Chains A and B, each alone.
Chain A
Amino acid sequence: MDTNHPSYTVVRGTRGSMALFAFALMLVAFAASLPFWGESSWMREFVEIACYFIFAMMWNLMAGYGGMVSIGQQAFFGLGGYVMLSLGNFWGVNPFVAVVLGAIVAGLISIPVSWVAFRLQGGYFAIGTWVISEVARLSIANVSAVGGGSGTTLTALRGIEKATRESVTYWMALACVVASISLVYLFLRSKQGLALLAIRDNEVAARSQGIAVGRMKLAVYAVAAFGAGLAGALYFVGNLRISPDAAFSVNWSAFAIFMVVIGGIGRIEGPLVGALVFWAMNKFFSEYGTWYLIGLGLIAIVMTVYFKQGLWGFVQQRWGWTLFPTARKLQLK
């Protein structure tokens, strides 16, 4: 989209970014055919990393664009999972439909939650959201209908054949990945997205330009909660077993932070690159257990202190590549 004016042009996409975009589309089409020739372990792995990625993507939207650093997004991850499971087990809703419903419920619940969470700012907000997710964890652990502290199993998928279940879960995960990238991309390219970037860069200035800062932040918080709920519901459809400790684990936020920091915060490509790096590290080093986690922590610290822009930020600065052009660049004639 170029806006023409006698003395300048506003540039967004370049030819390179269009080519990369076309390549990404082909990659998605290719990935969609995986169930016909791939192994079921690949599909399971993809579903898992897709959940991590969607969750990280939403964390990036909040922290990198909305300026809200949260350590409590697992509240919505777990809620999405539990809502999906309850709808499937108790009300006979098809679990794949329930995934979307779970995400919607998580998004809706985030609105009253924000009323409490938004009383805190900056670092206090981060830990406050963590408290809220702990409240969710302890509350669910007291509900015996979903197995209390020890959790329960998704029984609603019992009648479905394993191969069908795995393929459908895989396609669903792929669709969710594409949908969440598109959602964030289109959101950031819209007028609201521009307002969001303005708030991130200078909240006071943005407010003085007539941007409703509070409403924008709430919108971002709700979208991010929806996405986290989607990731959670999807994860537990793939996993079939849920427990409060797994669903509301702070590790979800820890891994999201790691992925975003590695890939580059405040860029759509960031979590994508981060998720790939995380997947590779998980595959090759997770057998080292605690040392692996120590390594992840150290990398996050070193990256934040010395290499703030992340891997994709480096690529972008060095070669000017963008896969998802959301910035508007001014070219003077």
Chain B
Amino acid sequence: METVIQGVLLGGLYGLFALGLSLMFGVMRLTNTAHGDFIILGSFSTLTLVNLGLSPWLAMLATLPLAWLMGYALQRYVLNGTLGKDPLPSLVVTFGMSIVVQNLLLELFSADPRSIDTGGFSTQGIAFSPELSVGVLPVVILALALAVTAALQWMFTSTALGRTFRAVSDDREIAELMGLNARKVYALATALAFVLVGLAGSLQGVRTTVSPADGPALLLFAFEAVIMGGMGSFWGTLAGAMLLGLTQQVGFRLDPGWGIWGGHLMFLFVLVLRPQGLFPKTRG
């Protein structure tokens, strides 16, 4: 029972990791191989703001607009030039960014794992019964993941911005004929994705320790959640993240060396049985 709860809570965090990736996949078919490293960059920028004297929650809030600006600029001035039928340029460029971000963080912050100090909030728990107690922070993270998923899904189906996202995703040329500037729409999508990345990074830094080399692992978790959940559905992504969190937690329970490994195997298993993912294309 405790394993299941822990798994679902971990899944909430993975959901936040994965939603930004899902958004970028969905709108512009862009595979951001530096996704995990940008999450870690988010953790470290929050950490730096805290070190500068901001309170942890204010630092988190301040990270989000920074992430927005960075995402917008990156897409507008670098990544837009790499989009096209050939996946190679965007992969090489984002992979290059991954190496740059990782090593810059290593240079600036050293390889020591760090954590964002929240004055004890991250260790607070609610005891449901003598054997069962759940951390407040993981519950908050799960609630945030649910809220963000709902908000994204609503935005995609019911707002003008969501409609433009869907339009450029379905057919870029036609959308441009209708007067949309696809490059700007892409930049907005990436900016939004980076806000989620910044949020996920801050929370990761509060929940556990982060070190500059953690990025690739987080990218793989996020990717697995997106593929398992099925393309083009935010609720699917969240479900994929839950499945990954649960599998890892069960694996850890059996043997500390099996958690991550089990998660990867579950991903390959789903890929073989249901290559389209669990809940594909519910975005409509």
Q: Which of B91, B97, B220, B257 has the most CB of A within 10 A?
A: B91
User: Beyond A119-B272, A124-B227, A254-B95: 12 further Cβ-contacts under 8 Å?
Assistant: A119-B271, A122-B29, A128-B223, A131-B220, A135-B264, A142-B258, A265-B88, A290-B103, A293-B99, A294-B104, A297-B96, A301-B97
5 interchain residue pairs of minimum CB distance: A123-B31, A297-B99, A122-B87, A297-B100, A301-B96
A138 with B97: CB separation less than 8 A? no
Size class of A's contact patch?
35 or more
B89 with A123: CB separation less than 8 A? no
Size class of B's contact patch?
35 or more
B257 with A305: CB separation less than 8 A? no
The yes or no answer to B245 lying at the interface (CB within 8 A) is no
The yes or no answer to B174 lying at the interface (CB within 8 A) is no
B residues less than 8 Å from A290 (CB atoms): 103-104, 106-107
What are some 25 contacts across the A-B interface (CB < 8 A)?
A71-B95, A119-B271, A119-B272, A120-B275, A123-B29, A123-B31, A123-B87, A124-B227, A126-B33, A127-B219, A130-B216, A134-B260, A135-B264, A135-B265, A138-B261, A250-B216, A254-B99, A290-B107, A294-B103, A294-B107, A300-B92, A300-B93, A304-B93, A304-B96, A305-B81
The yes or no answer to A241 lying at the interface (CB within 8 A) is no
Q: In the complex, which of the residues B91, B99, B224, B257 contacts A69, with contact meaning CB atoms closer than 8 Å?
A: B91
A residues less than 8 Å from B193 (CB atoms): none
The yes or no answer to B122 lying at the interface (CB within 8 A) is no
A residues less than 8 Å from B153 (CB atoms): none
A304 with B89: CB separation less than 8 A? yes
Nearest B residue (CB) for A141: B257
Main secondary structure of the interface of B (DSSP, over half): helix
A248 to B267, CA, bound (A): 19
B residues less than 8 Å from A131 (CB atoms): 220, 223-224, 264, 267-268
A300 with B78: CB separation less than 8 A? no
In chain A between 262 and 297, which residues have their CB closer than 8 angstroms to a CB of chain B? Answer: 265, 290-291, 293-294, 296-297
Nearest A residue (CB) for B212: A290
Main secondary structure of the interface of A (DSSP, over half): helix
Residues of B within 8 A of A (CB): 29-31, 33, 78, 81-82, 86-93, 95-100, 103-104, 106-107, 216, 219-220, 223-224, 227, 257-258, 260-261, 264-265, 267-268, 271-272, 275
Nearest B residue (CB) for A300: B96
A50 to B268, CA, bound (A): 33
B residues less than 8 Å from A254 (CB atoms): 95, 99
The yes or no answer to A261 lying at the interface (CB within 8 A) is yes
Task: Report A52-69 CB contacts with B as 1/0, cut-off 8 Å.
Answer: 000000000001000101
B residues less than 8 Å from A126 (CB atoms): 31, 33, 87, 91
Query: Shortest beta-carbon distance, A30 to chain B, in Å?
Result: 35
B residues less than 8 Å from A123 (CB atoms): 29-31, 33, 87, 90-91
B271 with A305: CB separation less than 8 A? no
B residues less than 8 Å from A301 (CB atoms): 78, 92-93, 96-97, 100
A residues less than 8 Å from B272 (CB atoms): 115-116, 119
Q: In the complex, which of the residues B29, B96, B220, B275 contacts A134, with contact meaning CB atoms closer than 8 Å?
A: B220
